[in-house]
Amino acid sequence: MNQVVLIYRADICPQKWAELTLQCPYAMFYHQLWYLDTVAEHLAAIVCKNAQGYEWVFPLPFRYKFGFKTVYQPLFIQHLGFIGTVPPSEQQILNIENLIKQHFFYVASYQGSLDTYLSETQGFSNAFILQTHRTHHLNLNQSYELLRANFRRDRRRELKNQDLSMPRFEYGQNIEPLIALFERIHAKQINGGVSQTAYALLQKIYEVLSEKKLTRLYYGLSSSHEIVSGALFVQYGSYITYLFNAALPDYRHENHRLFFLNREIEDNAGKPLFLDFESAQEPKIADYYASFGAESQPFAHLHYNNLPAPVRALQALKFYLHKHLK
């Protein structure tokens, strides 16, 4: 008989987890236990056990906030959710909800493949706020000529111009120049800034992924061979993920980003792969990725707050101060 239980990292069986992700058709590097160990402060999982191993798992990265265990979405993970080959039943969804409520007071943010499964069941109760977000996937299993023909007219025109004056680029082995670019140009544009721990985490992630030969790192160069742009792609299973990029403003206008994306598309055309653009929830960015002929793909964003009233009041005050005193 199947059991649905919540277990913590010490009790998770790496072999059973790895076997499950190998069977899961949509598994990405995000879902691997070794990656979760890299990015999550602490890890729990709701697991459906059977006699052979795990039927599905529902990873729950967590940390302590205000003294409470809080589920959160670690940096550099867009999708979590269910991992497996069999969808959870309606009763199992109820079990998941009850286990989250028993073990956690707060789900700050949780994103992943929930929509499909929950649409087949009754879904979470109103205690949970469930929203639909979107990313973009491009099916690369067709010729490059056909892929390029499906680019929007402005992308094709930019590529035609670029064919005449191709940017200088090189493959990289060191991610520090890309991190430095981002910190110099983009970090100040982000509300609240970016902590140094985020850069250290990206460095660690790159080392782990590179050791497993899953990365492609591009750098764009100026006429004086200075690094002025960069992009990091990760290939695992059936997906290539556009994980991170940065560019000096002048070179963003010169479409270095277009060059990197087109190079990945051209090099992998005709292969049974999807390019995941990791779209931000901003219309302008989403529209840019859609212009490559990519299709919009839904994923769920889950939130739950059962913190005591005084802690909620403190949260609201911090949010107000941050918004009005920044």
In this predicted structure, the answer to whether residue 119 has a pLDDT above a threshold of 50 is: no
pLDDT for res 188: 56
Among 1-10, 27-36, 80-89, 194-203, the least confident range: 194-203
pLDDT digits (tens, 9 = 90+) for 278-303: 877 788 889 999 999 999 988 888 89
Q: Residues 100-114: what's their mean pLDDT?
A: 88
Domain ranges of the chain: 3-127+306-325, 136-296
Is the domain spanning 136-296 CATH 3.40.630.30? The answer is yes
Question: Alpha-carbon distance 166 to 169, whole Å?
Answer: 9
H or E element that contains 301: strand 295-305
Looking from the CA of 97 toward its CB, the CA atoms found within 13 Å total 21
Q: Residues 150-163: what's their mean pLDDT?
A: 87
Q: Does the CA dihedral 136-243-237-73 come out positive or negative?
A: negative
Which backbone phi and psi does 63 adopt, to 5 degrees?
-145, 175
Question: Alpha-carbon distance 159 to 148, whole Å?
Answer: 9
pLDDT for res 308: 74
Q: Residues 191-197: what's their mean pLDDT?
A: 64
Instruction: Please state whether the predicted TM-score (pTM) of the whole model is above 0.85.
Output: yes
- Domain pair 3-127+306-325 / 136-296, same fold: yes
Which residues are within 8 A (CB) of 300 and not within 5 positions of it... i.e. 6 or more apart? 81, 111, 112, 113, 114, 115, 118, 130, 131, 132, 133
Surface-to-core class of residue 157, CB atoms within 10 Å of its CB (0-12 exposed, 13-18 middle, 19+ buried): exposed
Q: Residues 119-144: what's their mean pLDDT?
A: 80
pLDDT for res 168: 84
The CATH-assigned architecture of domain 3-127+306-325 is 3-Layer(aba) Sandwich (3.40)
Average pLDDT taken over every residue of the chain: 86
Read off the DSSP letter of residue 296. E
